[in-house]
Structure 1
């Protein structure tokens, strides 16, 4: 991701953290914890995470790991986020769990491990100057996943793009994913404003 795009995202989250101190979901840009967890529920319902190695791109505070701990038992979890303050709090919160690791970095350029399942919830919604950014990230996620990739994006049919956030056409994204993975699925029945794609190997 371009340096100026990364800076815009960092400043956005710095401001949200000041405004919503202690509220993970709203600091991350979600409208509420319920909204954030609705996406997590959709992800967990689509795939079996039991005893899987999971890579969470744009992990924030590690809230998806918390959600996983309530519903299943993963073998390992790696979270990556460019926001240092998020990673610091995540490391502190999960310091007693030996099966998880948090890495500070831009996941579009950081060396990523191979895992069973790659997840990106909310982290692909940012606008970028690089027009091929999203397709390249999706391809990288697919290459790093042994079993499946699952991610959500804002739906351009219901959400208007802004200077920070970019919405996408669900069918166009699905068609691109199908070109990489014939077993790709579009999920739209959980909310209007975004959609989820599952790519199963």
Structure 2
């Protein structure tokens, strides 16, 4: 099972991206929300992933946050909701918005997604209403995307190896890079990022 990818962005189109990890390109299906936050080609990225194995295909789905991946898992547990429909929903609704829509029984919000009619939206709301409490609202509304290239990517990897969650590592390294500027050394970036992560 592939749970996470860290590498550089090799390609990004309307419905998927290719992440280069050590010379191997992983094609990852993703929501438009995640794809739009990936940054420039060649930039460093870290995505949470979910792999689905079927008789006719093995598909890797990518997410900018753990919350988005959790919602994908919940959505695809509903009959009639496959990976593409789940991504369509996550393209128009953030995890926080989806939590509110399901908790409030607002099927109209869910029907904003392509391919989701009123009956399917009602089923989603009904089946997931009792499960919404499993995902804390606000846990991962923001997309975790690594600052592009060089020392920043290495600093991000260093924090990940120390056990920081991707969202925490991204925020800390981005803040450190903003303070130190583009010419910062890896050592300086890691030290400042650790201080910033400790304060948050």
Which has the larger Rg? 2
TM-score range, shorter chain: under 0.3
TM-score of the aligned structures, taking structure 2 as reference length: 0.24
More helix by share: 2
